[in-house]
Structure 1
Amino acid sequence: MALLDGKRVLVTGVLTEGSIAFHVARLAQLEGAEVVLSSFGRQARLTAAIAKRLPRQAPVVQLDVTDEADLAALTERLGEHVDHLDGVVHSIGFAPQSVMGGNFLAGGWDDVATALHVSAYSLKSLAVAARPMLGAGGSVVGLTFDASFAWPVYDWMGVAKAAFESTARYLARDLGPEGIRVNLVSAGPIRTTAAKSIPGFEAMEGAWPHRAPLGWDVSDPVPTARAVVALLSDWFPATTAEIVHVDGGVHAMGQ
């Protein structure tokens, strides 16, 4: 029996074959899940094209997590493909370059607000929108980058990730009585399209393989994707509000 046999999973944020979200969707299918993807706007065509490269082509539903109309319509749109959900993967993040790359002190509120809305508040928005289709045993899994530290160049995106991690804990508190788990995977730096958009990203990724006891491959999203799939499964029935680090061990090492 495969890890996700019979489960139905919504995966957000699939844009390229190199993304963590793509490999989550791919591995989820290989482990027996029925996968639905979400996308919006001009990105939707990219997601639809990439969906064809999965082991089984996955349907794509319209969802902008900052759009209340899209959020309200999510249950109906998902209902065209699945009758319920067992898992939701949040792989969404965005901050204008004006609030990253050494611009912490210069960051203006409008751009900071965008980062917080898209990268943190959206976890609550997505979980609440998917809630009618998630039953007991459901699992919400998000992707973060350890917000315990002030990283070089990450700036207000780091603040957004701190808010994201706190949001996950409060969601775990409020959804736990319904049997819904909420957990995060904190990945080391992966050379995804989103990461490449961070000014000075190389400053974060450069020393990582040398500091990691297990080593670290910045071009390999699969270890992170495996952790997400594991948390979607029934193998963690009593785990919620947790952050699982998949970073080669760097989070536990001194400077």
Structure 2
Amino acid sequence: MAGIVEGKKLLITGITMESSIAFHVARIAQEQGAEVVISSFGRVMRITQTISKRLPVTPELVQLDVTDDDDLSSLADRLRAVGFDSLDGVLHSIGFAPPGAFNFMEGTWEDASTALHASAYSLKSLATAALPLMTSGSSLVGLTFDAKFAWPVYDWMGVAKAAFESTNRYLARDLGAHGIRSNLVAAGPIRTTAAKSIPGFEQFERVWGDRAPLGWDITDPTPAARACVALMSGWFPATTGEIVHVDGGVHAMGQ
């Protein structure tokens, strides 16, 4: 039986560790028949290259810093150079905020603007850079942490995620004319490298499983990864501007 992304060409960003949701998106996509290319940049690139060898098939790796205009403008050429002359799906699994962004009242504009650029505006930047290779039926998928609430410790990253979710809606509007879908997966807390960098993130880990009607395993990125792959498949042809919650049901519960 063919996989749900059989024959599709996908760009996966954000693989930094085997625990990364992006790593498992790439793994599941390959298992489901997709051809995957991954991106990284700077000092992290060597780590990404090492981790990628643990995938079922070691993918091609391209340079991409989503805050660098030169990298963005040359992305399509870089992808063509490794045999990707089209893209059926793109995963945005990118976020960064400096330590000061995790103190809302004391965070500076520099802290906040850095978080907004890397974690929100970058969704539009990536979409624009990938657009020359995307065609009708292609799918852009991003990862968020539900921004409807003022979470403990999340602070300016929470504001950035709210902007990220709004950016998704505007992309759904503007990419729709090209037949391209834009959706997000709101994952519950996963013990990833990004999570460990947030001071006090263990507060989520302690309570999430108790609040989730389905329960929640903070060490298992597979449910969120499966949702991302499904959104990049052909199974959601009329869904765009959406946020799919993969959080054990916490988003639907009262306090």
Same fold (TM over 0.5): yes
Q: Does 1:138 align with 2:138?
A: yes
| Aligned twin of 1:149 | 149
| Aligned twin of 2:101 | 99
Q: Does 1:76 align with 2:70?
A: no
| Aligned twin of 2:195 | 195
Contact persistence 1:51–1:59 (CA under 8 A):
no
| Aligned twin of 2:11 | 10
Q: How does 1:107-126 map to 2 (within 5 A)?
A: 107-126=107-126
TM-score (norm 2): 0.99
Contact persistence 1:14–1:21 (CA under 8 A):
yes
| Aligned twin of 1:23 | 24
Q: Which runs of 5+ in 2 are unaligned?
A: none
Residues 3-43 of structure 1 deviation map (CA, whole Å, 9 limit, x = unaligned): 11110000000011000000000000000000000000000
| Aligned twin of 1:211 | 211
The DSSP-based 3-state class of the residue aligned with 2:128 is helix
Q: Return the alpha-carbon distance in structure 2 between the equivalents of residues 173 and 20 of structure 1.
A: 27
Residues 220-239 of structure 1 deviation map (CA, whole Å, 9 limit, x = unaligned): 00000000000000000000
Q: Return the alpha-carbon distance in structure 2 between the equivalents of residues 164 and 32 of structure 1.
A: 29
| Aligned twin of 2:87 | 85
Letter in 2 for 1:106: E
Contact persistence 1:104–1:156 (CA under 8 A):
yes
Shift of residue 90, structure 1, vs aligned partner: 0.1
Contact persistence 1:186–1:247 (CA under 8 A):
yes
TM-score (norm 1): 0.99
Letter in 2 for 1:94: F
Q: Return the alpha-carbon distance in structure 2 between the equivalents of residues 27 and 6 of structure 1.
A: 14
Residues 129-158 of structure 1 deviation map (CA, whole Å, 9 limit, x = unaligned): 000000000000000000000000000000
Q: Return the alpha-carbon distance in structure 2 between the equivalents of residues 116 and 96 of structure 1.
A: 11
> Identical aligned pairs, as a percentage?
69
Shift of residue 80, structure 1, vs aligned partner: 1.5
| Aligned twin of 1:50 | 51
Q: Which runs of 5+ in 1 are unaligned?
A: none
| Count of matched residue positions in the alignment of Structure 1 and Structure 2 | 253
Stretch of structure 1 that moved more, 73-82 or 164-173: 73-82
Q: Return the alpha-carbon distance in structure 1 between the equivalents of residues 222 and 204 of structure 2.
A: 20
Q: Which runs of 4+ in 1 moved over 2 A?
A: none
Q: Return the alpha-carbon distance in structure 2 between the equivalents of residues 50 and 3 of structure 1.
A: 24
